[in-house]
Amino acid sequence: MSVDSILTNKLPLMEHFYTIQGEGAQTGRAAYFLRLGGCDVGCVWCDVKESWDANKHPQIAIETMVDWVQNSGTEMAVITGGEPLMHNLDALCKSLQQAGIETNIETSGAHPLSGTWNWICVSPKKFKAPLPSVLVQANELKVVIFNKSDFEWAQKHALLVQPNCQLFIQPEWDQREKMMPLIVDFCKENPAWRISLQTHKYLQIP
């Protein structure tokens, strides 16, 4: 049972910041990121492993988080992690949307969906597979390519999303030089897929 199941008005927050969305379908849009603590997926190449233990991060009131987002002037909040769906996000989404803020989530899809979302990005991981019930609600499927076997993983999950779901394939940052030629060839052979890049890392912004 997650801590927020008891403290329903609070969630463990690793960090928060106002920046530009760097990946996927919403690339280039100003967005306020709320990175929740807690993850049981365990990607070996994860670049925010410090998010994994929810108990290491302070419990922050939803009202406080909504105030931060509103005060930034943004139109969009991105809830990420860690794995944000380890927590019940109904109250957070309701409060953000009542404040006129779009709610976007970035999730592995490994836990049941909670919250009401304007945009759902599912990035399935081999370490803990996504739930079919989450995949069918995805607006965006974003598959990270670490090695050649990940292309088959991508195609497998493309069959499990709705026809209007946008398909993105993205090199794992440390493998990008090795994998990009293969990704280019893959997208040329499979034009339903588009390339996503971590543009925020190139721009050296959060």
Predicted local confidence at residue 8, as pLDDT: 65
Rounded average pLDDT over 182-200? 97
Predicted local confidence at residue 3, as pLDDT: 41
pLDDT band with cut points at 50, 70 and 90 for residue 196: very high
Structure token digits, residue 188: 């040329």
Classify each residue of 156-170 as buried b or exposed e, where b means 16 or more C-beta atoms within 10 Å of its C-beta.
ebbebbeeebbbbbb
Predicted local confidence at residue 7, as pLDDT: 47
Rounded average pLDDT over 156-163? 97
Read off the pLDDT of residues 33-75 as tens digits, 9 standing for 90 and up.
999 999 998 888 787 888 899 999 999 999 999 999 999 999 9
Which domains occur in the chain, in start order? 3-203 (3.20.20.70)
Rounded average pLDDT over 86-105? 97
Rounded average pLDDT over 93-99? 97
Please report, for residues 19, 105, 137, 148, 149, the alpha-carbon distance to residue 119 in angstroms, rounded to integers and kept in the order given. Answer: 18, 7, 9, 29, 28
- Residue 6 pLDDT exceeds 70: no
Give the largest Cα separation in the chain, rounded.
49
